[in-house]
Structure 1
C-alpha cells in the first residue's frame, strides 16, 4: 500500500489528503455509546480521477488508528468503511 500524507482536523472531525491535486476525505462524528466514545465514520470520498490507489484505505486506517490510540470504539457507518472493517480482522475489537 502506498503511503499518503494524511491530515487530521479534529475540529472539523475529518481526515484529508490531497493526491494529484484531488482532495480526498473521511468525515466522522463522535458520540457516546454503551462502552464510551464512538467514532462514527460517516463518509469516505475519493474522486474517481485518483481512485484505485488505496487512498480510501489509508484514510480509514488513520481513523481506526486514532480510535485505538484514544481507546474509542468505531462505527463504520459508510459502506466503504464497513467493507474495509470486515476485511481487517485486526480491528474487530474496535467495532461498536
Structure 2
C-alpha cells in the first residue's frame, strides 16, 4: 500500500483499483486535525483507513504536531492507540459523522 502525502490538498491518499481513499486534515494550534476519512466501498475492510490515519499521525509526531481527531473514525483510532497521546477536536460531533 503506497500512501502519498499531498500537502497542497492537506491529504494523505492512496489509490487502488482505480479508486482513491484519503484522509483530509487541517493544521491549527500546533495540531494536525484529521477532519474526515474517505474509503470507497469497494476498498473497505482492507485496513486502508487505519493505514492512512496512522501515516497522518506519524507525520504529525515527526513534525512536532499534536494528533487531533474531528473525524469519528480518527477519534476511534486514537482511542485504540493511546501511545499517540491524541485529543478529540473541538468540532467533533458524536454519532459516526465527520465535521466537514
Bin for the TM-score computed over the shorter chain: 0.7 to 0.9
Alpha-carbon shift at residue 89 of structure 1 (Å)? 2.0
SS at match of 1:53: coil
CA distance in 1, matches of 2:31, 2:8: 16
RMSD of aligned residue pairs (Cα, Å) = 1.2
Distance apart, 1:90 and its partner CA: 1.6
TM-score by length of 2: 0.83
More helix by percentage? 1
- Cα deviation code 1:17-65 (max 9, x no counterpart): 0012111010001112xxxx11111010001111000000000000110
Q: Give 1:5 shift.
A: 0.3
Alignment partner, residue 12 of structure 1: 9
**Unaligned residue ranges in structure 2 (runs of 5+):** 89-100
SS in 1 for 2:45: coil
Separation in 2 of the partners of 1:89 and 1:11?
29
For structure 1, list consecutive stretches of 5 or more residues without a partner in the other structure: none
Q: May I ask how many residue pairs the two structures share in their alignment?
A: 88
Match of 2:24 in 1: 27
The alignment's TM-score, normalised by the length of structure 1, stands at 0.86
Q: Which residue of 2 aligns with 1:79?
A: 72
In the TM superposition, structure 1's runs of 4+ consecutive aligned residues that sit over 3 Å from their partners are none
